[in-house]
Amino acid sequence: MTIKEVQDNIIEEFSLFDDWMDKYNLLIDLGKDLPVIDPKYKVKDFLIEGCQSKVWLHPVYDGKLISFTADSDAIITRGIVALLIKVMTNRTPDEIIATDLYFIDKIGLRQNLSPTRSNGLLSMVRQMKLYAMAFNAKNK
């Protein structure tokens, strides 16, 4: 699936719920299902600090695709992290750099990504792209 297709799937999944609580319950479930990050990566080097919640993000590059594992200390944040990973993992660096993330806005979670929320999510997206740029640079 392309990045666009994955995003559209998420939007469709969330569109089934009108009620906020249902949306958040889905996020909580997604957060619980997020594949566990290796504890050795839950360290400062991989920490993206926000003032509300913390996010750890670890990239692996096999020379072709980048995959991510991540975690957060807040479950709702972890749910959104899970969505971001769904969209961004196992992609080429170029795909990641070019990604336009529109799904967050469409599913009504934009407030979680605003720069002042400081929950680390916006920094996480930025960090994913920075990793992609760094891996790209290494290739050249």
Partner 1 sequence: MKEINEIRADFPILSRKVYGKPLVYFDNGATTQKPNCVLDAVDEVYKSYNGNIHRGVHFLSDMSSEAYENAREKVRAFINADKREEVVFTSGTTGSINGIAFSFGERYIKAGDEIILSRLEHHANIVPWQMMCERRGAVLRIIPINDNGEVMLDEYYKLLSSRTRLVSVTQASNALGTILPLKEIITAAHSINIPVLIDGAQGIQHGIVDLKEMDCDFYVFSGHKIYGPAGIGVLYGKEKWLSEMPPFQGGGDMVDKVTFEKTTYNELPFKFEAGTMNYPAAIGLASALDYVSVIGREDIAIREKELLIYATGRLSTIKGLEIYGNSEKKISTISFHIKDIHQYDTGMILDKMGIAVRTGTHCAQPVMDRFGIDGTVRASLCFYNTKEEIDTLADGIEKVKSMFA
User: Does 47 participate in binding partner 1 (rule CB under 8 A)?
Assistant: no
CA distance linking residue 132 with residue 118, whole number of Å: 22
Contact string (CB under 8 A) for partner 1, positions 66-105, x = contact: -------xxxxx----------------------------
> Among residues 7, 53, 89, 127, which is the contact residue for partner 1, using CB under 8 A?
53
User: Does 41 participate in binding partner 1 (rule CB under 8 A)?
Assistant: no
CA distance linking residue 121 with residue 123, whole number of Å: 5
Q: Which of 85, 110, 111, 88 is nearest to 33 (CA)?
A: 85
Give the residue carrying structure tokens 């695709």: 65
**Residues 1, 43, 51, 134: which is the catalytic one?**
51
123 is catalytic: no
Q: Which residues are catalytic?
A: 51
